[in-house]
Amino acid sequence: MTTDEIGSRAARHGHTPISNSTENTPSGGGKKPKKKRILLKIFLGLILLGILGLLAGVGLFWSYAKDAPKLEDDKLSATVSSKLYDANNEVFEELGAEKREMIKPTDVPQLLKDAVVSVEDKRFYKHSGVDPIRILGSAFSNFKTGGLQGGSTLTQQLIKLSYFSTKEKDQNLKRKAQEAWLAMQLEKEKSKEEILTYYINKVYMANGLYGMETAAQSYFGKPLSELNLPQTALLAGMPQAPNDYDPYVKPDVAKERRDVVLFTMKENEKITQKEYDDAKATPIDDGLQPLKQSNENRKIVDNYIKEVIAEVESMGKNVYTDGLDIHTNLDMNAQKRLYDIINSDTYVQYPDQDFQVASTVIDVKTGQVKAQIGGRNIPDDVQLGTNSAIETDRDVGSTMKPIADYGPAIENLNYSTGRIMMDKPTTYEGTNIPVTNADMQYYGALTMRKAIMYSRNTTAIQTFDAVGSDKSAAFLKDLGIEFKDFVAANAISSNTSDLGGNKYGVSSLKLAAAYAAFANMGVYNKPYYVNKVVYQDGSEDVTETESKRAMKDSTAYMMTDMLKDVINGGTAFNAAVPGLIQAGKTGTANYTEDDLVKMGASESSSIAPDSTFVGYTPHYAVSVWTGYKQRLTPIPFEYWATASEVYREMMTYLSEGTATDDWEMPDSVIRSGSELYVKGAYEEQLLPSNSGYESSSSWESPISSESTISSSTTPSQTESSSAQVSEPPVSSTQQTEPPISTTPTEIPQSSEQPVEPSTTPPVQNNAVRRRSPSG
């Protein structure tokens, strides 16, 4: 039968003839083998890429690993302490250099082993230095939560502490590869017990202590073998964040961490449920002993060290693990003298042992903090405690006036030092809240120089209003001072409802730095403690002074000229140092009516919660705050001058052997008589009318607003000739408050007696103050 015949028969029966041609193949019949072949090729390609990737990874790992440092017992056992140098390149502290109590592998208590392994590396006895399960678990957890949980074993942690930087930015692929390689090598050379002991002896345990045996002796006064379960768990949990888990400084956080360790021990079946419950219920301070200072100098420099550590950590470095040489700006001799002045009665007489002082010394040309004390009579067992010199929770009072009112007025409105102001009944702008002076009196017409000299509150508020809060706030910000809610009360007070972790408000440090800008002819230097950091490889980071022009040189010079008079005959006469040219300002805060009720004191009581002084020469700025930790413990009137006395003693020391040079008047300023003027500025004279206390809008000025003050003019005469300027008397026994005039200016009578003012606007709903802060 022919092919054609077969085809014809198939066609008659409805069948399609069979053909070898691909064109006649059904649509899906030939593609399945094709897909399988493609998938097979992709699979083989992926395997090949995986093998190539693995080989590349192994090659990269080996290229990193071959450059890893060699394992050395000395490295594994030694601490990596940081040395702190003063300005004369002398070491004054070595963090972590204290004698360590080492423990042998055979002496490590089983309880401590169980605690450390449970919380840090529960498969410690099963892996070979690197734990793939832990790494994958951490990676999954980080992917799921977005966290940064680490996958390092105890062995890797020991290698990291011994050989590498602990900075997060240094945790790169190369470092991780070398860390893993060394961990595996260490596991081959040392037993698990030896590795665990190296770790226990090496870890940092806060307060300058290294090793858990050292911590046991220092914290509990006994060896590790005698610690109970909760005490052991506390120490086992500290190495991950020693300063955060410090039971002396952060007991609540330390307890949370200790309880985590206890929980992991229970989960790891190392303790029973009852043991867990009993230990968790134990107070965190159970058995804690008072800490002892590492050396005699430590108390003297402790506050300074705290700020050095904070500054170094802000650079992304760790003083406890990176082995740094930290060169600071500390003048050790000045620091010792400041400490002695504040902590003895040799120089200044204090009312009692609880009276507190905080002070900062700054080099005005560089912003370097040369000395700082943050408290008086600090207990021996306190290390890195509160440094009140950087805290902004107390009121610096009238030291705000030059930087919030008068300085901005010269800067923005070209006020002269001889500008006539009216010390008269005044209210906060837009309110009926009165502003009064400390002595509840008014001096009438007086120059701006006299207003500053006698620290009048009314003229300060009037000047603040004339400048405007925005310009005043901008002036302060250029001096490193900010307020989240800047209000009119800040013209004479640094009180603020929001400190923002010391970001807002004024501290001894900020105050000294701000006034240093006056001393430095208007150039502000951001204060700093660390001059240079040198790393173990010899590289270094040098701190550059952060400088900027905060005000015109005319503003700085004119303010300085007026602030000289505050010391030469004003509220700070007792800060004077014979033969020394200097300037400064007093500041005394006051209590609210509610405060006085709580204290059982009368409104006429001469008491204050805070008294401050800040002064400077062409070389140094020194600020001093005084008061009590408990704000409602008042400073008696006779000790309001203590702040300026501390300043006087410190500045006397700082100026020994230093030239008593004066500031050179810049070309932008002209002097006429005893007053200073901004060169080329327009002066609008405000003089009182015959009625005495009419609004300034009705006063007529003998100087036209169109007239220009020039070097040939005698503004002090034209400005003051028609005004009777009040000259309040100053007695030799006067304290730091404005003098009380023997013939006070008469105040117009009204149907209501003046209500004593608030230094906080009514919108704040804060208690109304008894009176405005004084000088």
What are the residue numbers of the active site? 120, 398
Contact criterion met (CB below 8 Å) for 377 and 366: no
- DSSP assignment of 202-227 equals HSB-STT-BSHHHHHHHHHSS-GGG-
Tokens linked to 321? 């693990």
H or E element, residue 56: helix 31-65
Per-residue buried b or exposed e for 406-422, using 16+ beta carbons within 10 Å of the residue's own CB: bbbbbbbbbbbbbbbbb
Pair type for strands 369-373 and 356-363: antiparallel
| 3-class secondary-structure state, position 124 | coil
Tokens linked to 680? 């080329």
Q: What is the 3-state secondary structure (H, E, C) of 686-750?
A: CCCCCCCCCCHHHCCCCCCCCCECCCCCCHHHHHHCCCCCCCCCCCCCCCCCCCCCCCCCCCCCC
Beta pairing partners, 613: 586, 624
- DSSP assignment of 422-475 equals EE--EE-TTS--EE--TTS---EEEEHHHHHHTT-HHHHHHHHHHH-HHHHHHH
Contact criterion met (CB below 8 Å) for 584 and 616: yes
Sign of CA dihedral 672, 678, 682, 684: negative
Q: CA 670, 673, 675, 679: dihedral to nearest 10 degrees?
A: -20
Beta pairing partners, 446: 421
Distance CA 436, CA 590 (A): 12
Distance CA 625, CA 515 (A): 15
Angle at which helices 192-202 and 110-120 cross, to 10°: 80
H or E element, residue 278: helix 273-280
Q: Please list, in sequence order, all residues whose beta carbon lies within 8 angstroms of the beta carbon of residue 289, skipping any fewer than 6 positions away.
A: 218, 219, 220, 221
Q: What is the CA radius of gyration of the chain?
A: 37
In order of 309, 390, 483, the CA distances from 503 in angstroms are 18, 10, 8
Distance CA 167, CA 186 (A): 23
For 136, other C-beta atoms within 10 Å of its C-beta total: 11
- 344 CB-contact burial (10 Å; exposed 0-12 / middle 13-18 / buried 19+): exposed
Q: Please list, in sequence order, all residues whose beta carbon lies within 8 angstroms of the beta carbon of residue 372, skipping any fewer than 6 positions away.
A: 303, 304, 307, 335, 338, 359, 360, 361, 387, 389, 508, 509
Q: How far is CA 164 from the centre of its chain?
A: 28
Q: What is the DSSP letter of 578?
A: T
- 138 CB-contact burial (10 Å; exposed 0-12 / middle 13-18 / buried 19+): middle
Q: Which residue has the tokens 């290390």?
A: 383
